[in-house]
Structure 1
Amino acid sequence: MVVDDHPMWRDGVSRDLEAAGFIVAATADGVERARNRAAAVTPDVVLMDMHLPDGNGADATAAVLEVSPHSKILVLSASSERDDVLDAIKAGASGYLVKSASVDELLGAVRATYDGQAVFTPGLAGLVLGEYRRMSTAPADDRAPEVPKLTERETEVLRLVAKGLSAKQIATRLSLSHRTVENHVQATLRKLQLANRVELTRYAIEQGLD
């Protein structure tokens, strides 16, 4: 799925993808449409712009992953600003490519993202790693505030995530709706300042919740 509010760019990228053999299952021009169409087509990979009319790429990334948690998000943006990059990764994006990339670089990045790799325009990977390194080595007084306490239900869902259960399986186990489970997962990610389910599972295991 291609998410961009500029029709010429969105259509051009879609044509390049289709010419290379990819199936463009949907396109969208904003956060809400991205969310709705992702729910309908559950795309494998989403190419995400950072600046949209009704929000930003981080908002859209979180919205898409809420309804299609197995999608992988590759940001494709004109911006290489530090805050944009970090916001996108914290929201769950797998990688970040600037729009100055060539068509071949874009196609390679889409394939790598589908394969589960983290793809970044040269220089941006160092920025992300540097930020996480800074957060992990900063003196206690300089770090983020103490992690908020999870609710009993969030802890219960987290324990089942760590056991490898899907949202649908968790919903059945706890007699909840699939949407409610996803909302708990997203709330837990935000509270713990984690980027995705891999980090969430690692956290749960470290806390002995598995």
Structure 2
Amino acid sequence: MKVIRVLLVDDQPMIRTGFRLILEAEPDITVVGEASDGTEAVELTGALCPDVVLMDIRMPRTDGVEATRRIVETGSASRIVILTTFDLDAHVVDALRAGASGFLVKDGPADSLVGAIRTVAGGDAVLSPRVTHRLLGRFAHLGAPAEAPVPARLDALTGRELDVLRALSRGLSNAEIALELGVGETTVKTHIAHILEKYGLRDRVQAVILAYDSGLVVPRTGR
């Protein structure tokens, strides 16, 4: 059994202790270190090479956004999950842009924390449909995504890959995309892998941001 190595980053010791107790109760997860700010997080990530960094977004000295950016720029294989108090924290989008693989709200249930760690360690991202609609809708100046003409930046994608990317931007799961497009779930996974490879993206969260940044999906006007 592979044990997932986690680094906890939060400026509140009680929060770190609570997360440690939750995670170390699981047989496949171990906490390899703790950091109280982003600067220390960058240093410990380089020294300990954790599989997952659980990163608070608001900290003194160096916040979670900047720490995420620095870790990703080093080429680290560690994957980052952002912790926030509010699910519409504007800084979360900045962290996702910087390379985080998703985020969790601190007051969520313990099983969601454990599940997120396993999901991210397995190479996927933590971003629910509700969060995709609300958070990325806010990032794109509110409103649900609407299809736009295919921008030149995405001309490397096939028609089916564009369909998958649009579906991803709506927060659909692989199974939901497969059902909507009338293909197998394995085929959807293959298309997503091709999208990530073609644009050097870490995971589906980065693919969704690409869809918004490139203009493939845009907010509808009105409510």
How far apart are residue 128 of structure 1 and its match? Answer: 4.8
- Residues 39 and 62, structure 2, Cα contact 8 Å, conserved in 1: no
1:116 is matched with which residue?
123
Report the TM-score, using the length of structure 2 for normalisation. 0.58
In structure 2, the partner of 1:83 is 90
> Is the CA contact (8 Å cut-off) linking 1:91 and 1:195 kept in structure 2?
no
Task: Give the whole-Å Cα distance in 2 for the aligned partners of 1:86 and 1:116.
Answer: 20
Relative distance call for 1:122 and 1:102 in structure 2 (3 A) is: farther
Q: What is the CA distance between 1:124 and its match in structure 2?
A: 1.5
Q: Which residue matches 1:16?
A: 22
C-alpha deviation, 1:83, in angstroms: 1.7
| Residue 16 of structure 1: how far off its partner (Å) | 1.1
Q: Gapped runs of 5+ residues in structure 1?
A: 141-193, 204-210
TM-score in terms of structure 1 length: 0.61
Matched, 1:94 2:101: yes
Residues 67-99 of structure 1: per-residue CA shift (max 9 Å, x gap)? 452111111211323522211100101011101
More helix by share: 1
Give per-residue Cα distances to partners, 1:138-179, cap 9 Å, x unaligned: 9x9xxxxxxxxxxxxxxxxxxxxxxxxxxxxxxxxxxxxxxx
**Residue number in structure 1 paired with 2:193:** none
Moved over 3 A (4+): 127-138, 194-200
Report how far residue 40 of structure 1 moved: 0.2
Shift of 1:121: 5.3
Kindly provide the amino acid, as one letter, of the partner of residue 123 in structure 2.
G
Bigger share in strand:
2
Segment of structure 1 superposing worse, 115-124 or 41-50:
115-124
Q: Are the aligned partners of 2:79 and 2:121 in contact in 1 as well (CA < 8 Å)?
A: yes
1:161-200 matches, within 5 Å, as 196-197=201-202
The runs of 5 or more residues in structure 2 that have no matched partner are 1-6, 152-198, 211-223
The one-letter code matched in structure 2 to 1:66 is: E
- Pairing 1:70–2:74 present: no
Q: RMSD across aligned C-alpha pairs, in angstroms?
A: 3.0
CA distance in 2, matches of 1:195, 1:90: 13
**Residue matched to 1:2:** 8
SS at match of 1:23: strand
Question: What CA distance in whole angstroms lies between the structure 2 residues aligned with 1:89 and 1:32?
Answer: 19
CA distance in 2, matches of 1:114, 1:74: 10
What is the DSSP-based 3-state SS (H/G/I as helix, E as strand, rest coil) of the residue aligned with 1:97? Answer: strand
Q: Does 2:115 match 1:103?
A: no
SS of corresponding position for 2:24 = helix
In 1, the alpha carbon distance for the partners of 2:57 and 2:200 equals 17
The residue type equivalent to 1:100 in the other structure is D
Alignment partners' CA distance in 1, 2:62 and 2:147 = 30
- Of 23, 43, 62, the residue aligned with 1:55 is 62
The alpha-carbon distance between structure 1 residues 55 and 107, as it changes in their structure 2 partners (threshold 3 A), is same
Give, in whole Å, the separation in 2 of the partners of 1:5 and 1:195: 32
Report the count of equivalent residues. Answer: 148
Whether the 8 Å CA contact 2:80–2:100 is kept in 1: the answer is yes
Identity %: 35
How far is the alpha carbon of 1:66 from its aligned partner?
3.0
